[in-house]
Chain A
């Protein structure tokens, strides 16, 4: 079975550019999560969706960040305009959203904003 697929694996771009991170959850999973990992703040939940609907976006740091889930098999996290402090590893995870079913993580996107 394919796991959670994220692209790109690495992204290097200049400050001010728009960045789009992509995620394909595991088929059949109805919950999708976006996390950010930095040395200073560790793993933080940015936003999560249930059945394609955003449930909690309280972790989204600023209006520069936006996330969408147009269908059950695809989600994007967009940063516009990007800033150097956005540099981090961004993880997408999905789960069946039931009981003790754990979240399955993608391999992450390492984002570097110059």
Chain B
């Protein structure tokens, strides 16, 4: 069975600082994709960043970047220059060959002004 684990229920960061959210996963497939979704209080699910497992280069989207360690099955999200609007629940997700998404339990990010 495929699993996604987010071990940090809640994280806090000072505005303008950097924070890293952890995610580990388990899958027997060699070809898969990883995603981070953001869910603000409005409850929308917003795609933040994605990573193809076959690519060694870590994905980057503006202030958001990932540290993808395939051998360790680790996929952490780094948010640089944190902004108040970054406050939300963040979900790590794994997509396998069936295109199904398996989500972690989420990390609530608080941003202190």
Interface residues of chain A, those whose CB is within 8 Å of chain B, are 31, 33, 42-43, 45, 48, 50, 55-56, 89, 91, 93, 95, 97, 99-100, 102-105, 107-108, 110
> Which chain A positions have C-beta within 8 A of B99?
31, 48, 50, 95, 97, 103
Would you call the interface of chain A mostly helix, strand, loop, or mixed? Answer: strand
Q: List 6 A-B residue pairs with CB atoms under 8 Å apart, sorted by A's residue number.
A: A42-B103, A43-B91, A50-B99, A93-B101, A102-B47, A104-B47
Which residues of the other chain, B, contact A105 by a CB distance below 8 angstroms? 37, 44-45
Complex contacts, A55 vs chain B, CB 8 Å:
98
Q: How far is the CA of A34 from the CA of B85 in the complex (A)?
A: 27
Q: Is the CB of A102 within 8 A of B44?
A: no
Q: In the A-B complex, list the 6 residue pairs whose CB atoms are closest, starting with the nearest.
A: A105-B45, A43-B103, A100-B33, A102-B47, A42-B105, A100-B52
Interface residues, chain B, with chain A CB atoms under 8 Å away? 33, 35, 37, 42-45, 47, 50, 52, 91, 95, 98-106
Assembly CA distance A45 to B99 (angstroms): 11
Interface contact A93-B100, CB-CB below 8 Å:
no
> A100–B33 Cα gap in the complex (Å)?
6
Determine whether the beta carbon of B101 is less than 8 Å from that of A91: no
Chain A residues whose CB sits within 8 angstroms of the CB of B95 once the complex forms:
102-103
Q: Would B43 and A42 count as touching, CB distance under 8 A? A: no
